[in-house]
Amino acid sequence: MSSKQSDSGNRIKSLTVYSLLCAFCIVCGYIEFLIPTAAIAPGVKLGISNSVALVLLIKGDIKGAFAVNITRILLSALLFGSPFSLLFSFCAGVISTVVCAVLIKMPKLSPIGVSVAGAVCHNTVQIAIASFIFGKGVWFYLPVLILSGVICGTAIGLLGIVLTEKIKSDF
Amino acid sequence: MKKLKRFDIILIGFLLFASLVLFTVFGTIKRKGKRVVIKQNDTVVYSGELSKDGEVSLKHNTVKIENGEVFMKSADCKNQICVKTGKISKSGETIICLPNKVIVEIE
């Protein structure tokens, strides 16, 4: 009986933690949504919320990373986006999370590399979807997005490492 | 602070290189012009496809279109700057012959 109780206690705990992480992600996403980047490179975002999934991956919680990422993408689209933007962010989000989840297992790659790979994947998938909808012309934007993916990915990778060091407890 | 590993550097280096290559490649494709417009005294005297070879003879100048490039074949002006400009093929490029008020522009 007691083990059952602690089991349900754990479930409640992890549900709460994941919910909080989702909320954090959505707020981060909203703040980034408010920062205009159109002048420098339209559509480019830092993606601070990705650091949450990265920390979860570093801690070995792959399920949690998927849960948080997918939930936040769906909720963000519901709150600030459209079905159209959902298509973009959902496909890109899922694929880049899969890539990150695979790469995090590689001992020769640090979280920075994982994050960079994820960011570039995310951007490339979005361009690919955009090319289906708007035509091939959008591929011209790919180099900009690769470059921004490298920069943002490195930043998020560093953030993820620092956060993982600071957060000692497991979720 | 030994955070970056070798494969990180390889990955980042490769991606930076790839974006650089794509920048250059796309840059050249994108700016490839389509039409040649020749103006004399601010009026359009010729407008045609860049891909179609040909020669346009004006009063003082001869413009030649060849292999997707345009150049001033001859001009009777003194300075010959337009002839020395060489070949142009990218959108926005111009050859200007000031003495004869001829502008060759690629769109």
**How far apart are the C-alpha atoms of A37 and A17, rounded to whole Å?**
31
| B95 & B71 share domain | yes
Residue range B63-80: mean pLDDT, rounded: 88
Q: Rounded to the nearest 10 degrees, what angle do helices A62-80 and A2-34 cross at?
A: 50
Mutation pick from A120, A146, A152 vs chain B, by most beta carbons of B within 10 Å, is A146
The pLDDT score that the predictor gives to residue A1 is 46
ipTM: 0.78
Does A138 fall in a domain?
A: yes
Decide if pLDDT at B54 tops 60.
yes
Query: Whole-number mean pLDDT of chain B?
Result: 85
CA gap B42, B47 in Å, rounded? 13
Q: Provide CB contacts within 8 A for A28, sequence distance 6+.
A: A48, A49
B22 lies in the same domain as B58: no
**Percent of chain B with pLDDT strictly greater than 70:** 95
- For residue A46, what pLDDT is reported? 87
**CATH number, position B80:** 2.60.320.10
Please tell me the distance from the alpha carbon of residue A1 to that of residue A79, in angstroms, as a whole number: 41
Residue A146: predicted pLDDT: 93
d(CA B94, CA B107): 10
Instruction: For chain A, say whether B15 makes contact (Cβ under 8 Å).
Output: yes
What count of other Cβ atoms lies within 10 Å of the Cβ of residue A73? 26
Token code pair at residue A69: 């990422």
Residue whose entry in the numeric block shows the structure tokens 């921004």: A148
pLDDT in tens, B11-52: 999 999 999 998 888 877 766 778 889 988 888 888 888 888
Are the Cβ atoms of A140 and B4 closer than 8 angstroms? Answer: no
Same domain, B96 and B52: yes
CATH at residue A153: 1.10.1760.20
State the virtual CA torsion across A47, A111, A69, A125 in degrees, nearest 10: 70
Q: How far apart are the C-alpha atoms of A62 and A53, rounded to whole Å? A: 8
Q: How many domains does chain A have?
A: 1
Residues B40 and B12 in one domain: no
| Residue A21 predicted with pLDDT over 90 | yes
Task: Assess whether B63 and B76 both reside in one domain.
Answer: yes
Amino acid at A124: T
On whether both B2 and B48 belong to a single domain, the answer is no
| pLDDT of residue A102 exceeding 90 | yes
Mean pLDDT on A27-44: 77
At B1, is the pLDDT very low, low, confident or very high (cuts 50, 70, 90)? very low
**B residues 25-84 near A, CB within 8 Å?**
26, 30
